[in-house]
Amino acid sequence: MNYDYLIVGSGLYGAVFARKATDAGKSVLVIDKRSNIGGNVYTEDIEGIHVHKYGAHIFHTNIKEVWDYVNQFAEFNRFTNSPVANYKGELFSLPFNMYTFNKMWGVVTPEEAAAKIEEQRKAAGITEPKNLEEQAISLVGTDIYEKLIKGYTQKQWGRPCTELPAFIIKRLPVRLTFDNNYFNALYQGIPKGGYTKMVANMLDGIEVRLGVNYLDNKDEFDAMADKVIFTGPIDEYFGFKLGYLEYRSVRFENEVLDKPNFQGNAAVNYTDAETPWTRIIEHKWFEFGKDDDGNDLPKTVISREFSSEWKPGDEPYYPVNDEKNGKLYQEYKALGDKEEKVIFGGRLGEYKYYDMDAVIKSALDMAKKELG
Ligand code: UDP
């Protein structure tokens, strides 16, 4: 045995656990099948812009412990996420707030907005929302559901809103105030220098081997360590023997444009059903100010995001946390619990639609439990 911990995956869960274990005096080896660290928070430098290669990541949290922790490895800028929704050329503010309601209905006061939502909710006859569609209508009414939620959600998840769990839409705030901040979080920002640098700082001084696939040589790797932290898909770990868990995958079409400003915002969501992409990310606005240094940069990099059903060989991004998959996951988890030397963690290891802060919190908690 060479190492106390073999950590499979250098994303946030693996990197945080590796740091904690190393700081506790344990010997650690981190391996990753990709040629880069960082998992899906990996950022790549293109034209001096940190491109979020595996989708936009905006750090936000209400957990002070997590905020203090990440600030040891990166300085965060003051980016506030306020995506714009584009419905067939009509623009709306997100999340759903007084700017959205004013644009949609011409209402001016919070009372008027609340009355409009209530009127549409009543007309739809929903008492106890059973799925995403009913949850959405009962939160914001049918007009907003039809223009800003229905098409986007069905594109993102590839399923009708009536077949999706209600909790997904509860991620978005609904406010009767003029506030375009997408997150209800005390702390928010993007690490200066990009996420890759932040993860590299977490892994500072730790042995990392890249381009190495654990599952291809599992026995050999298992023999190298007392314990394994596995952050890949739990169903893949077990050779999919109980069946496939469903994931959504994402494909990105990146373009470098010879103009300083393409859409004036980091994220524009295309919420109609016909536009094939879900959103366009203009990466420079995560890190540069709109009034000065962003426009000084002559080029810009944009990514169109296309959502698809995961199939073997694709990158898994979003677990589809519906009932059917929940049951199958519980069966895999029961198998996982029997693997005495393996801990399953992170979005893929726990099959959970985790945000970054929740992943870090769960790695910190696991480290406490394991390392004392
Ligand atoms: N959503 C929507 N319209 C939007 C943005 C989000 O209907 O313009 C819904 C959609 O169902 C989506 C969910 O809100 O799956 C969560 O969106 P979020 O932005 O949190 O997703 P992520 O950033 O994780 O892709």
Partners of 59 in the β-ladder: 189
Rounded Cα distance, 84 and 87, in Å = 10
Active site annotation includes 365? no
359 belongs to a structural domain: yes
153 lines ligand 1 (CB under 6 A): yes
Q: Per the structure, how many domains does the chain have?
A: 2
Reference 230, options 213, 246, 242; nearest CA is 213
Rounded Cα distance, 102 and 276, in Å = 28
Residue-level pLDDT at 83: 98
Active site annotation includes 305? yes
Which amino acid, one-letter code, is at 227?
K
323 belongs to a structural domain: yes
Helical pair 12-23 and 356-371, crossing angle rounded to 10 deg: 30
Is the alpha carbon torsion for 75, 77, 81, 83 positive or negative? negative
Residue-level pLDDT at 170: 87
Is the alpha carbon torsion for 67, 70, 76, 79 positive or negative? negative
Residues 118 and 228 in one domain: no
Residues 209 and 89 in one domain: no
pTM for this structure? 0.94
Q: Which residues of 10-43 are buried (b: 16+ CB within 10 A; e: fewer)?
A: bbbbbbbbbbbbbeeebbbbbbbebebbbbbbbb
Catalytic residue among 248, 287, 332, 350: 248
Torsion of CA 204, 210, 216, 222, to 10 degrees: -20
301 lines ligand 1 (CB under 6 A): no
128 belongs to a structural domain: yes
DSSP run (H or E) holding 296: helix 293-296
111 belongs to a structural domain: yes
First to last CA, the chain: 22
Reference 79, options 281, 363, 257, 361; nearest CA is 281
Q: Which atom of ligand 1 sits closest to the CA of residue 150?
A: 7
Residue 295 has pLDDT above 90, yes or no: no
The model's pLDDT over 88-115, given as tens digits with 9 standing for 90+, comes to 999 999 999 999 999 999 999 999 999 9
Ligand 1, atom 15: closest residue by C-alpha: 153
Residues 138 and 44 in one domain: no
Residues 211 and 339 in one domain: yes
Output the CA 169–ligand 1 centroid distance in Å. 7
85 lines ligand 1 (CB under 6 A): yes
Residues 203 and 58 in one domain: yes
Q: Which two tokens stand for residue 154?
A: 């069905």
Active site annotation includes 75? no
- Per the CB < 8 A criterion, the answer to whether 307 and 249 are in contact is yes
DSSP character string of 104-137: HH---SHHHHHHHHHHHHHHHT-SS--SHHHHHH
269 lines ligand 1 (CB under 6 A): yes
The model's pLDDT over 193-233, given as tens digits with 9 standing for 90+, comes to 999 999 999 999 999 999 999 999 999 999 999 999 999 99
300 belongs to a structural domain: no
152 lines ligand 1 (CB under 6 A): yes
Residues 129 and 95 in one domain: yes
Residue-level pLDDT at 4: 98
The model's pLDDT over 250-285, given as tens digits with 9 standing for 90+, comes to 999 999 999 999 999 999 999 999 999 999 999 999
Would you place residue 372 in the very low, low, confident or very high pLDDT band (cuts 50, 70, 90)?
A: confident
DSSP character string of 161-214: GGGS-GGGGGGS-B-SSS---S---SEEE-BTT-HHHHHHHHTTTSEEEES--G
314 belongs to a structural domain: no
Residues 334 and 236 in one domain: yes
Residue-level pLDDT at 162: 96
Residues 160 and 20 in one domain: no
Residues 102 and 17 in one domain: no
Residue-level pLDDT at 293: 73
Which amino acid, one-letter code, is at 206?
I
Residues 208 and 100 in one domain: no
Would you place residue 291 in the very low, low, confident or very high pLDDT band (cuts 50, 70, 90)?
A: low
366 lines ligand 1 (CB under 6 A): no
Which amino acid, one-letter code, is at 89?
G
Catalytic residue among 314, 331, 353, 370: 353
Residue 102, by phi and psi: left (phi above 0), alpha (psi -120 to 50) or beta? alpha
269 belongs to a structural domain: no
Domain end among 169, 200, 233: 169
- How many CB atoms are located within 10 Å of the residue 210 CB? 13
Q: Which residue range forms the structural domain that includes residue 330?
A: 3-79+188-242+319-371
Catalytic residue among 171, 209, 253, 293: 171
Rounded Cα distance, 262 and 239, in Å = 44
291 belongs to a structural domain: no
Q: What is the CATH number of the domain that holds 40?
A: 3.40.50.720
Active site annotation includes 279? yes
* For ligand 1, mutation pick of 152, 154, 317 (most atoms within 8 Å of CB): 152
The model's pLDDT over 45-103, given as tens digits with 9 standing for 90+, comes to 999 899 999 999 999 999 999 999 999 999 999 999 999 999 999 999 999 999 999 99
Residues 72 and 94 in one domain: no
Ligand 1, atom 7: closest residue by C-alpha: 149
Cis amide prior to 95 (ω within 30 degrees): yes
User: Count of alpha carbons within 13 Å of 64, Cβ hemisphere only?
Assistant: 0
Catalytic residue among 42, 279, 332, 347: 279
Residues 132 and 209 in one domain: no
* CA angle centred on 159, ends 155 and 163, rounded to 5°: 140
Residue 171 has pLDDT above 70, yes or no: yes
